Amino acid sequence: MAPTPRPWRWIPPLTLPGDWQMAIDDWLLDELVAGRSGPVLRLYRWSRPTLSLGWHQRSLQPHWADLPAEAGIELVRRPSGGRAVLHAGCLTYALLWPDPPASRPLAYRQACAWLREAFAVLGQPLLLGTAAANGQRSSCFATSTAADLVHAGGAKRVGSAQLWRRGRLLQHGSLLLDPPETLWRQVFGQPPPLLPRCRCRIRSSKRCCSERRSPTWWKVS
C-alpha cells in the first residue's frame, strides 16, 4: 500500500530581513530532503527593501554594490535561480514540494496553479509567459518566461524561480502589489511593470486588497 501523502503545511506570514528569509527557505528544503517535513507553503514580506540575486547570477550592475549605503536597499542571494528581484511593494511565496513532476515546465505550471485560480477569482486572470529565458537581462521582471505569470496585456505580475535538491523542489515567487517606481528606477533604470488596477471584490471603504500592507550566509558582500 502506498504511503499516505502528508498534508500541506501553512506557515503564517513573517516579516524579516532577507538573509533570514532565505536561510529559512533553505532549511525547509533540507528538512524536506531529509524526510522530516512534508509539503510547505509560506508567504512573507521583507523588513526593508531588498534586492535578491539568483544563485547563479554573476553579472551584476556596477551600481548595485552602492545600494545599501545610497538607497537603503539590502542585497542577498537566493538559493533559487533566476535574475534579480526587488522586494518592495510585493509579497513573496516559498513552495516546498516533495514529489514534483520531473518536467520543470510542468512543475512550474502546477506550482503556479493556485495563484492563477486566486487572481481569476479577483477578476484578474493570469497567463503563463512565453518568452525564452534570457541570461543577459539583470532583472527578473524584464522578461516573462514559462516560469512567470502575466496579465493579458503583457504586464508581469509574478516572477518565479526554482531550486531542485535530490528530487525535491523549492519554488520562490515574487508577486507585485504596489512596486515603488523610485526604487525601481534606482535599481534597474526603468519603471516597474504597469499593472492593471485591481477589480477585486475584496474591498475596504478606502483601499482594495492589493493596497493593504500588512543569517548572514545569504548576505551579498
Interior/surface letters 105-131, b for 16+ CB within 10 angstroms, e for the rest: eebbeebbeebbeebeebebebebbee
Cite the active site residues.
140
* Cell numbers representing residue 135 in the block: 541570461
The grid cell for 12 is: 503564517
Q: What is the DSSP string of 82-116?
A: SSBEEESSEEEEEEEESS--S-HHHHHHHHTHHHH
CA distance 14 to 42: 9
CA distances from 207 to 70, 174, 199 (A): 32, 21, 11
